[in-house]
Structure 1
Amino acid sequence: MARHDHHDGGGADLKSAARDRLTESGEQWTGMREAVFDALAGFDRPASAYDIAEAVSKAQDRRVAANSVYRILDLFVGANLARRVESENAYVANNHPGCLHDCIFLICDNCGQAKHIDDDSIADNVRKAAEKSGFSPSRPVIEVRGLCEDCG
């Protein structure tokens, strides 16, 4: 199936799926990791590590350093709990952490929303083009800038 859609969960279901995915990968679901995931999932657009650190700091009434958040976000990306929006140096919670795909982000230049779609045929074609050029791709990064449905 080249393209497919997911029912995007949220709230407790999303956190439960993220916790399960992280522990299945051999990592612990700690209080700080939960706080970072909650903050990340609470944003309606891609959030930087600094945005997340500020949200966690406010929620816990103590300062949380962005470098600690970066380490957790790297772990989350590796475990498929979060996706990195490269052009924004920001992150979004993966609403379906059990599904492994290369992401395609549609990023609105007006409101900053980033919609994630899966289309394996596009990612596969990018991989094939890279291989044809003698390059060994590890992960395609596909981001499309423009205007979302609401702003367009």
Structure 2
Amino acid sequence: MHSHDHHEPQGDDLTTAARKTLEQAGEQWTAMRERIFQTLAGFEKPASAYDIAEAVSKSEGRRIAANSVYRILDLFVQANLARRVESANAYVANSHPGCLHDCIFLVCDLCGQTTHIDDDKITGSVRSAATDSGFSPTRPVIEVRGTCADCTA
């Protein structure tokens, strides 16, 4: 397997890495974007915009609309701060926002846990197959559904 290793910041270091990445993309790091990112990063499983809006609403003491969260999440995906788990219509914080690569998600059908792995050989093969078919891939979305080790045990 051709994987690559990352220094994966957490907590404040991850927020700082996300802020730097967003600013390098020419976007502003606002207080609301920070709150949305920190909330997303705090979830142990992929979170929907509604999950995030509810959590932020509770912490802010005022209602935050899911539509506002969706717009911010779309920006985060575009800037590589978050990844969308398509089959769950949910998001995960990218633990290495400065690194551009394709991701593979392993999604447990029982508990919802989603594990992110990198394998450039597999994603490169998917890109090559698409290109060989006359298609210009932007970003492959690879999700493997099944049962995680915790649920199998």
Determine whether 1:132 maps to 2:132: yes
- Aligned-partner Cα distance in 1 for 2:12–2:137: 35
SS of the residue aligned with 1:15? helix
Partner in structure 1 of residue 95 of structure 2: 95
Is residue 2:57 matched to residue 1:57? yes
**Structure 2 counterpart of 1:108:** 108
TM-score (normalised: structure 2)? 0.95
Q: CA deviation at 1:9?
A: 2.2
Q: 1:83 maps to what in 2?
A: 83
Structure 2: segments with no counterpart, 5+ residues: none
Structure 2 counterpart of 1:9, one-letter code: P
Shift of 1:65: 0.3
- Match of residue 36 from structure 2: 36
* Displaced runs of 4 or more, over 2 A: 5-9
Amino acid at match of 1:102: D
Hey, what does 1:72 align to over in structure 2?
72
The CA deviation string for residues 7-59 of structure 1, in whole angstroms up to 9 with x for no partner, is 43211111111111111111111010011001101100000000000011001
- Looking at structure 2, the residues matched to 108 and 7 of structure 1 have their Cα atoms a distance apart, in angstroms, of 25
Partner of 1:142: 142
Shift in Å, 1:6: 2.5
Q: Percent identity?
A: 72
What is the TM-score normalised by the length of structure 1? 0.96
Structure 1: state its 5+ residue gaps: none
1:151 aligns with 151
How many aligned residue pairs are there? 152
Whole-Å separation in 1 of the counterparts to 2:11 and 2:2: 28
- Separation in 1, partners of 2:9, 2:147: 25
CA distance in 2, matches of 1:95, 1:26: 20
Q: What do residues 107-129 of structure 1 show as CA deviations (whole Å, max 9, x unaligned)?
A: 11111111101111111101111
Separation in 2 of the partners of 1:9 and 1:81?
A: 12
1:2 alignment partner AA? H
Aligned partner of 1:14 in structure 2 is 14
